[in-house]
Each structure stands twice: as C-alpha cells, then as structure tokens.
Amino acid sequence: MTKYVSIKNWAKDDKPREKLALNGRETLSNAELLAILLGNGTRRKSAVGLARDVMTLADNNLNALAKLSISDLCKISGIGPAKAITIIAAIELGGRRKKSIITSNFIKSSFEAYEYFSPMLQDKEYEEFWILLLKQNNKIIKSYKVSDGGLTSTIADPKRLFKIALENNAVNIILCHNHPSGNLTPSVADFKLTEKIVNGGKQLDISILDHIIITDSGFYSFADEGQM
C-alpha cells in the first residue's frame, strides 16, 4: 500500500499554492486549482487527491462540475457542506466575472445576447425563461427571470412579461431560455410561444428582437434563422 504523504512534505514545485506563486495560475491543473479552494484534505488523502475525486465525479468536465449541488459534492468522502459551498461559490464568481467582462451596455447582435445570458443559464439543471429589456437604441435596461420550468420545458406568461416591460419603459425585448438537455432545436411549444409574444408586442409597440436558446455548447437564435 502506498504511504500517504501530506502536501506539507511535497517538493515546493508540487504544492499547488507555491506552484501558482512561482509559475503562474495557468500552470496548475483543474484539480490543483480546486485543491487550493479546498484548503486541506483528510487523514488519508491530500487536498489534491480530494480535488481529483471531485473532478472524477464531474467526469473531468468543468461544465458538469458547475451543475453539481451541495448534496452531490457531499457524497465524496472528505467533502462536507463547507467545502461544497466553497466550490459552488467559486464557480458562481467565475460566471459573474465572465458576464461583467463580456457585457457592454448595448446589445448589437444575437451573439452578444448569448454572451449576456450564457453565464446565468448554461449550468442550470432546469429550464428558465428570461427577458432582456432594452431602450430604443438597444441599451440594456435590465434582465428579468419570468419563469422556472422542469427538465424539458418552461412556461412564460406573456401578460407578466409585458407587465414587466411596461413598468420599465422597455421598447425592445430579447427572449431567452435554456435547454438543459443540450438540444438546440426549438420545440413546437417554443415556436408557438415566440409567435404569441411577438404578436402581443405589436399591439403594445414593443419589438421582440430575438429569442435565444442556450445550451452548454452554444445557442440558437430565432432572428438569425429567420424565425421571428
């Protein structure tokens, strides 16, 4: 049996914190970065070993890691609620940082709309329906979550949607929801709902510019596909 060796006794270049300080953060593996967050391991396993267990649970996929809940992470021996919450908080901060960098005050394309919504929706296990409220010049007013759904569908109430738009003096709206299944193809219900909201907007002089569907691997734009 291989004897367990504490990180304290590793060579300096092999210690995650020291390795980051000496060589830069880009030189660390995902498990090593995760080990720094965990802080310490257990009597039988180092923080890096524990981090590798976490990455294994997520199939060594950061997108899959972002979908894990506190209870999922706590199934790993050595991971308690405190460590699980630390991991989830770090992932959330990363998503928020991405959003703050890539989002300008204006939306000029479907890709910019995707970049705006992606940090909020790509890791969700259930469908959510959001709207992005815009001024006449497409300057962002704010975004709102209109509804939560299940694994395969969500229902957005057009009356609530337009109430929010009118209360915020929105002139243009971009619709967005996610497909946790990873399938980018719009459903029949997606087409019907989009048509219903577009027609409702015409009665109120509110333009529905696009409807974006988001998955972990990309997006579908109704406008780009000529479906608006």
Structural domains of the chain, ranges and CATH numbers in brackets = 7-99 (1.10.150), 105-221 (3.40.140.10)
- The whole-model pTM stands at 0.64
Which pLDDT does position 112 carry in this prediction?
Answer: 93
What is the tens place of the pLDDT at every residue in 127-183?
999 999 999 999 999 999 998 876 555 678 999 999 999 999 999 999 999 999 889
SS3 content of the chain, % helix, strand, coil (to 5): 45, 15, 35
Distance CA 173, CA 176 (A): 10
Distance CA 43, CA 18 (A): 22
Look at residue 10 and tell me whether its pLDDT is greater than 70. Answer: no
Which pLDDT does position 103 carry in this prediction?
Answer: 55
Query: How many CB atoms sit inside 10 A of residue 114's CB?
Result: 22
Which pLDDT does position 152 carry in this prediction?
Answer: 57
What is the residue-averaged pLDDT of the chain? 88
Which pLDDT does position 216 carry in this prediction?
Answer: 85
Instruction: List all residues 6 or more positions away from 123 whose beta carbon is below 8 Å from its beta carbon.
Output: 63, 66, 67, 91, 95, 216
Residue 93 binned pLDDT confidence (cut-offs 50, 70, 90)? confident
At 208, which amino acid appears? I
Quote the crossing angle between the two packed helices 81-102 and 30-38, to the nearest 10°: 120
Residue 104 binned pLDDT confidence (cut-offs 50, 70, 90)? low
